[in-house]
Structure 1
Amino acid sequence: MLVATSFSFAPLPLVSQPAEAAALCGGASWYALRSKTASGEMMNPSAMTAAHKTLKLGTKVKVTNLRNGKSVVVRINDRGPFIKGRVIDLSKGAASRLGFIDRGHTQVEVEPLDGKSYKGCA
């Protein structure tokens, strides 16, 4: 005996964690190119700017070097970094103020200053 059955499966919703729920911690590096940024402005190595993959261009963030506790406020004006484990690329000027020019990279906490609640670094 053949029994016809009908199953209806609703597609599962895509689950993505909103940016404000993500811990913005990880590696940071610096760059000092003289090229156009994603925002359309020219990269200024001495400016307090940075590249981030998803934060809205123009967002201001506080970046804290977890190795020495130094912090700076930078404006997101470019896209990147594109290296696994890195969460932000900083201008040379910002990296200098954070004290990691010679190392080239460091571990940081990135706190957007937009009033949203973000988890801190573990």
Structure 2
Amino acid sequence: MHRPVIDSTPTTEPVTPRKKRKLFSMGIGAHGIVAVGISAHGVISIGVISHGIISIGIISMGVLSTGLVTMGLLTSGLVSMGLKASGPTSMELMMDHSGMDHSGMDHGDMNHGEGMPAAE
């Protein structure tokens, strides 16, 4: 009776810490939520909330390397460098908007210009 218990203990011990290590590199609540990273290959590489929300990035080498956070999600307020490097970025979004707006305005101006002088 004692044998199976002892055998089960060592088998479960190494499996439990191993699984936990894969999910958390250093710790979940070392400073606030994640000091080093939850998933070095899946969720967080450096830390989720080292100072306030994100010190370096949510996923710097797994999921959001070039999709959600490239440098920091909320380092200053919302996005310091870029929220979506692959989609709507802090800089790309503005640039895209400016370019699109310009194109649209140009088209509208031309159309309007043709109609205005004709009316006058």
TM-score for the superposition, normalised by structure 2: 0.24
Larger CA Rg, structure 1 vs 2: 2
TM-score for the superposition, normalised by structure 1: 0.24
Q: Whose strand proportion is higher, 1 or 2? A: 1
Q: Whose helix proportion is higher, 1 or 2? A: 2
